[in-house]
C-alpha cells in the first residue's frame, strides 16, 4: 500500500509539472550575438532588425518609429499566394482578434510581391480579411529590394525568394516573428501551425510584461 501511495503522489506531481508552464521565464533572444570589449568589459550586442521604411494599406508611412514603443509580430506573404498564406492569415487573425485593442502591440505583414500588391490592393485585401483600419495591423508594401533585405539575415532571418517553379511564383517562409521594443527577435513560430500560434498568443503577454517591471 505504501508503494501505491508513492506512485500516486509521483503521478500527481508529474501531471502538475507536465501541465504547468514556467510563469516567470523570459523569452529567448534569437540570432547570433556579437561580443565587444568596452573598457575591459565584454558587451553583448544582440541581433536587431534594422531601420525600415514601408507604406501600409492606408498609405501611411510605417518605419521603425511606428513601432518604437511597441512589441510586434512580423510576417511575409503575397496576395495571390495559393499555398500557405491563407492559413497564415487565418492564424494571424487569431492573434489580431486577441490583441487588436492592446496598446503597444502591432502586426507588420510584408508583401513579397509589391508589383502586384499595391496600396489599393492591400486595402481591399485587408478589408476582405476583416481588418477595418491600420490601427494595429499594417499590410506593408514598398521597394522590393528593401522588403527582401529586411526579411534576410540582416533582419528577420527568414527565407524569401522569387522562383518560377514555386506555386504562385514565390517561395517564402510561413514564420511569425515576435519582436520586442529594442527590435530584437524574441520568438519564431510556424504561422501555418495552430499550436505554434497558440504559443505565440501566450508569449505576447509575457513579452509585454517585461516592460511593466
Partner 1 sequence: MIFRNCLPSMSSKLIVPILFALATATACGGGSSEGEQVLNRLNDTEIKYFTNGKRLYSTHCANCHMENGEGLGQLIPPLKGADYLLNDVGRAARIIVNGAKEPLIVNGIEYRQPMPGNTSLNASEVTEILTYITNAWGNSYGGVSLNQIKTALSTN
Binding site for partner 1 (CB under 8 A): 1, 4-5, 7-9, 11-12, 15-16, 18-19, 80, 82-84, 86-87, 89-90, 93, 125, 127-130, 167-168
Q: Measured at the alpha carbon of residue 57, what is the angle toward residues 53 and 61, in degrees to the nearest 5?
A: 30
In angstroms, what CA-CA distances link 199 with 78, 94, 148?
24, 12, 27
What's the grid cell of residue 103? 496598446
Query: Which helix (H) or strand (E) element contains residue 99?
Result: helix 85-99
What's the grid cell of residue 149? 533585405
**52 versus 78: smaller Cβ distance to partner 1:** 78
What's the grid cell of residue 20? 504547468
In angstroms, what CA-CA distances link 16 with 9, 19, 166?
11, 5, 46
The CB density around residue 162, as the number of other CB atoms within 10 Å, is 13
**29 versus 87: smaller Cβ distance to partner 1:** 87
Residue whose C-alpha is closest to residue 29's, from 11, 47, 43, 17: 47
**9 versus 61: smaller Cβ distance to partner 1:** 9
Least CB distance to partner 1 at residue 176 (A): 17
Distance of CA 84 to the CA centre of its chain: 16
What's the grid cell of residue 194? 495552430
Least CB distance to partner 1 at residue 121 (A): 11
**49 versus 85: smaller Cβ distance to partner 1:** 85
Least CB distance to partner 1 at residue 11 (A): 7
Give the span between the Cα atoms of 165 and 186, in whole angstroms.
33
Least CB distance to partner 1 at residue 173 (A): 15
**34 versus 162: smaller Cβ distance to partner 1:** 162
Using DSSP's 3-state secondary structure scheme, residue 106 falls into strand
**29 versus 166: smaller Cβ distance to partner 1:** 166
Least CB distance to partner 1 at residue 82 (A): 5
Least CB distance to partner 1 at residue 177 (A): 21
Amino acid at each position: 500500500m505504501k508503494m501505491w501511495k508513492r506512485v500516486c503522489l509521483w503521478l500527481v506531481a508529474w501531471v502538475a509539472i507536465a501541465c504547468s508552464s514556467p510563469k516567470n521565464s523570459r523569452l529567448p533572444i534569437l540570432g547570433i550575438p556579437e561580443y565587444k570589449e568596452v573598457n575591459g568589459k565584454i558587451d553583448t550586442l544582440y541581433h536587431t532588425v534594422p531601420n525600415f521604411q514601408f507604406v501600409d494599406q492606408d498609405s501611411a508611412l510605417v518605419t521603425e518609429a511606428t513601432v518604437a514603443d511597441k512589441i510586434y509580430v512580423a510576417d511575409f506573404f503575397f496576395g495571390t499566394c495559393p499555398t500557405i498564406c491563407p492559413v497564415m492569415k487565418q492564424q494571424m487573425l487569431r492573434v489580431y482578434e486577441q490583441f487588436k485593442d492592446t496598446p503597444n502591440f502591432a502586426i507588420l505583414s510584408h508583401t513579397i510581391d509589391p508589383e502586384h500588391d499595391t496600396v489599393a490592393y492591400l486595402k481591399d485585401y485587408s478589408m476582405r480579411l476583416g481588418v477595418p483600419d491600420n490601427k494595429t495591423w499594417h499590410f506593408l508594401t514598398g521597394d522590393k529590394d528593401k522588403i527582401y533585405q529586411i526579411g534576410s539575415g540582416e533582419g528577420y532571418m527568414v527565407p524569401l525568394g522569387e522562383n518560377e517553379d514555386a506555386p504562385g511564383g514565390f517561395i517564402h517562409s510561413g514564420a511569425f516573428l515576435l519582436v520586442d521594443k529594442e527590435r530584437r527577435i524574441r520568438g519564431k513560430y510556424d504561422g501555418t501551425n495552430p499550436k505554434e500560434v497558440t504559443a505565440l498568443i501566450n508569449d505576447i503577454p509575457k513579452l509585454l510584461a517585461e516592460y511593466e517591471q
